[in-house]
Structure 1
Amino acid sequence: MALQGWRFFGVSATIIIYIGGVLFLSMNNIPGSHPKRTRIERFAEFSSFHSPRFPMPSRKMTIRWCRDLKYLNRELPNYTDDNKAGDFYTAVPSSDVSASLQLPSAPMLTALASFPGSGNTWLRYLLQQATGILTGSIYKDYGLLKTGFPAENVCNSSVLLVKTHEWGAKAWAPFSKAILLVRDPEKAIIAEFNRQSGGHIGFASPDRYKRTKGKYWQQFVSNKLKGWELMNLSWARNFTGSIKVVFYDDLVQHTERELRSILDFLEYPVSEPLMRCALLRKEGIFRRKKRLLSFDPYTEAMRAELLARRRLVYGLLGRLKDND
């Protein structure tokens, strides 16, 4: 009898556990019965960036365009009249189609050349607002692709101009004209340091400047300053096409004047309603807000080198006043 009692108890316990397990799993599979995990987008540009504490352009950060954007050349295969602002990420060609759009250079393909951190994305934004025409890039920045620059990785005459940070004969080959956007190296280098840590509108943490007892930041400044000088002088001295130099500070202080001058260089007519709209919305979402550090990241030696190279480059570019 005792053995039969234990068997009955064991079978009953097994049945109760089984029924309880089924009920538990059923409750947890009911839609909305448990919170969803937050999904963090990881883009190629931000390979080491995965913290939700830093803001970055996202699909939710929509841009109000002055008019629906379109491609410039109807005859190229990526042009469509059906593109609607805010929905461009659904109209971007897949990587295999995009690769096929790398057509031979057009007679008047224009480069928007700059050292990283010099305001290239903001100028592209202003031009798209002022013209309603898409701008391209030799890169494929997925962060920008989803937030208003669907012509990333398009390098042909279907776009108004093409972004590049490269220099040298191979980099210049596709272009017959160029806009060289130049920014003070002190600010450009910090902007690029922030971008590498926090994306297009985020910031590097103060601790990052002190990494490896400051040697990481010191090497970063040294390498980037050499690159800043080489990139700007290479385009200014050796590019054989027509070139227009635009200084970032002028673009900030005299936005309308500079935009009109750039459009004149591009031989693109100015639409007064679009120009007014572009100026009203000139801040956009791609200009990093100012942030004051509690310390000066540049040593006296760094500042001396920054000033020397700035004077050299600005002088050769016709910017004779150091404080301009």
Structure 2
Amino acid sequence: MFSIRESFLFSLWAALCGAYEQSALHRLMAALGRGCERLMDGSRICGFFFREGTVARSWGNSGTCRTLSALVNLPGALLHRLYRAFQAQFDGSVFARLAFSMGEETAVGEFWVILALWVIPFERWNNAYNFLGFALLLALFYVGSMRRYSDFRLDVKSVGPYAAGMFLAAALGVVFSAYPGLSARFLMYHATCLLCVLVTVSAVRSTGDLKRLTAGGSGVVLISSLYAVYQRIQGVEINKSFVDMEANAGMPGRVESFFDNPNTFAQVLILLLPLVLGLALCAKRPVFRLASFGIFAVGAAALGMTYSRASWVGIAVAMAAAVFLWKPKLLPLFAAG
């Protein structure tokens, strides 16, 4: 079978990388990168934004955190007591063991929920489905904690005080709202987001879980971007509510994939493309790395077809942050590019 390592392009790339490692340009870029790192490490401004505040430091040992943790884990504790009371019956049941195994793999279930949430066309989706999906994931997590309650509990501490405070503010907004019915709809949006965060930080317990969840995001990017490319090939009718015909004469229609708005589609790509790139960088097998880079390329092309200029700037900033976290010494080269 033909191997990529035996190809001429791979040999040329390896030769170029070797020449670059020994070049004065590499030494200059490495020196600039080290200088940037020293400036950031010694910067009071960066230190102010990166430091952990007093509220965050004291959150884990606070009475509020312990109380909330006990409340959200109460169903799991009760189910665990039920399991201990009838352990022999549960362990002897094939269906119970299957349910326990599924609960312990809640991160895989979240993969499918995220995929459905973004890939099902907008006109066939209801925002109540989002809440229902994450509520089912929460129930699945409780099933997993029924057998492993000691080390499989909802992690309120890692959620942090600010997400909890935001949800409390949203709940109080309903109480004091002049239109409680309308405000309750927004509360459901915030509850969905809170459930997403709570389930994610609790269910993702290993690097493998994180890779599975990131693979779900990659699936979203691939499917929605391929459909966007199909839209471009078929031709997209210009929607005058999205295109200023006077300022953008001759501009083609903007792809929107499964979404109702090209800007919404672009924002989704901004969220997920850095995760796809991260998956490519940490993939151990060449075939997975190549597939991830291919998905990233298709997603980047779809982002360009949205003609969402603010999103173009946003992805550039996101990529700069990714380069900073990956190899800070490449920041000057990235800025020049």
TM-score (norm 2): 0.25
Query: Greater share of strand residues, 1 or 2?
Result: 1
Larger radius of gyration: 1
TM-score (norm 1): 0.26
Query: Greater share of helix residues, 1 or 2?
Result: 2
